[in-house]
Chain A
Amino acid sequence: MSLIKVSQLDKTEIVGDFKHVQCRHATWVEDNGVIVGGKSFSRHVIAPNDDVSNEPLETQAIVAAVHTQAVKDAYAAHLLAQEAEV
């Protein structure tokens, strides 16, 4: 028996008007290549203007492609309008 723990970014989604990038990491245990039990997930969302320096390069590339300056400006204005409501 050879058990190993595997964790990897298994899903990247771009959603919404402001191109939020949803990242899902899956973690599972393999016994000689066969998944034992189920996968567990951990998620986070990258919004426009978020720091992505700690993200994988492929995620950084996606963010760079979809979070254009226009998107960043629009999202900042959206948050500002929200803060100004109160």
Chain B
Amino acid sequence: MNVPEVTESSVESAYLALRTDAEKNGYRLNPDAEFTKNLVRGLLKNEQRYGYHSCPCRLASGKKDEDLDIVCPCDYRDNDLEEYGACYCALYVNEAIARGQQKVAPVPERRPPRSQRGKAASVKVTSTTAMPIFPLPVWRCKVCGYLCAREQPPGVCPICKATKERFERFV
């Protein structure tokens, strides 16, 4: 594969932009700046070679529609932050880790294995009571959980800026 190197200045500016954006939205980046910049370099490299910034710690297929769940921020970030204090690659961490009060521990892979991908819907309504009939469908952003009732999902999530394709029909 003949891919040009990602430059230091592009890593630096992407890192600063990501950090500002994360903090504006209530997230924290890993305080280990060198580690985090290497992850950002991986994101930029993936953008270059696959056309989308998939998780640097997961193998991308090269087909965007198969990898939407691992385009950073991935669909698994919030659950992993909640359970392990860090997302899978540890780009995003909780407050205690960001402050250096807690260490990052390995996060087990939450993404289904290759053989099981795309089979089960990620959200199942388990309630036994009949759903009320809403005049509009409800769409859920798989990245941040934002819900909205409208004919179509928004082009960009107003909360986390994930694109339209990251939305699923919720109700």
Q: Does B associate with A? A: no
Binding site for B on A (CB under 8 A): none
